[in-house]
Amino acid sequence: MAQVTLRDRGVHPASRATDGAPVRQKNVGLLGVGFFIVSESTFFLGLFLAWFFTRNTSDVWPPAGVVPPPIAPAVFNTVVALLSTVAVCFANRALAHNDRQGLVRGIASAGALGVLFMAVQAAEFTDLAMLAQGSAYGSTFTFLLLFHVIRVFVGVVLMGVVLVRALLGHFSSKRRLLVQATAMYWYFITGVWLVVFAVLYLIG
């Protein structure tokens, strides 16, 4: 009986050896993003613990004479963050179906909403400048917001990179690691914002 080789069946041995490489690269890439998100979560957890420790060891919270910032800008930014997350999810799902135009529309919308979020936050920081200098309440409040908005900036930069590469046609349903990683990071940022909003503005 003649032995059937890979070459006889039209399959090059080298191609069989590398078929799983893109999948392994994708899995490793997403795993790396996951570890990064875990490390970021740990840092935020430390900030929240510091907030609650200071709160629980203070006789009055907020301190006497300290007026908490208005909640309206934070509510507006919460809506913006949720809408941007929907846009990112739409972009990611569109690319999964090879809808490159959907990817461009979704990621551009999410990026614009991210810029709007930062603009509202920047306007709020002008009012928080004096608050940050007056008490542990103010400084911790401001630092939590500042640390989060820095992460928003990183996410918007990532979406800008995705948008440029999408316009150049670099992505497809089988080549979307950067899009998936950006989506994961943005989901994380939105989740953290919801916790920040609840802790700073609702629980206090």
Q: Per-residue pLDDT tens for 43-83?
A: 899 989 989 998 888 888 888 777 888 899 999 999 999 99
Predicted structure pTM score: 0.83
In 3D space, the residue among 145, 119, 152 whose CA is nearest the CA of residue 200 turns out to be 145
Other CB atoms within a 10 A radius of the CB of residue 142 amount to 19
Q: Which two tokens stand for residue 8?
A: 């006889």
Instruction: Quote the CA–CA distance of 152 and 190 in Å, as a whole number.
Output: 9
Name the burial class of residue 130, with classes exposed (0-12), middle (13-18) and buried (19+) by CB atoms within 10 angstroms of its CB.
Answer: exposed
Instruction: Quote the CA–CA distance of 31 and 177 in Å, as a whole number.
Output: 11
Q: Per-residue pLDDT tens for 152-166?
A: 999 999 999 999 999
* Cβ-proximal residues to 97 (8 Å cutoff; 6+ apart), any chain: 173
Catalogue all structural domains in the chain, each as residue range(s) with its CATH number. 70-204 (1.20.120.80)
Does pLDDT of 118 surpass 60? yes
Instruction: Quote the CA–CA distance of 59 and 163 in Å, as a whole number.
Output: 50
Q: Which two tokens stand for residue 42?
A: 């740990």
Instruction: Quote the CA–CA distance of 54 and 48 in Å, as a whole number.
Output: 10
Q: What rounded mean pLDDT belongs to the chain?
A: 85
Name the H helices within 57-99. Answer: 72-96
Residue with tokens 């630092």: 143
Does pLDDT of 31 surpass 50? yes
Question: What's the confidence (pLDDT) of residue 130?
Answer: 73
Higher per-residue confidence, 126 vs 177: 177
Distance of CA 99 to the CA centre of its chain: 22
Question: What's the confidence (pLDDT) of residue 3?
Answer: 47
Q: Are 107 and 160 in contact (CB under 8 A)?
A: no
Phi, psi of 172 (to 5 degrees): -155, 180
Distance of CA 160 to the CA centre of its chain: 13
Span 93-114, mean pLDDT?
96
Q: Are 190 and 84 in contact (CB under 8 A)?
A: yes
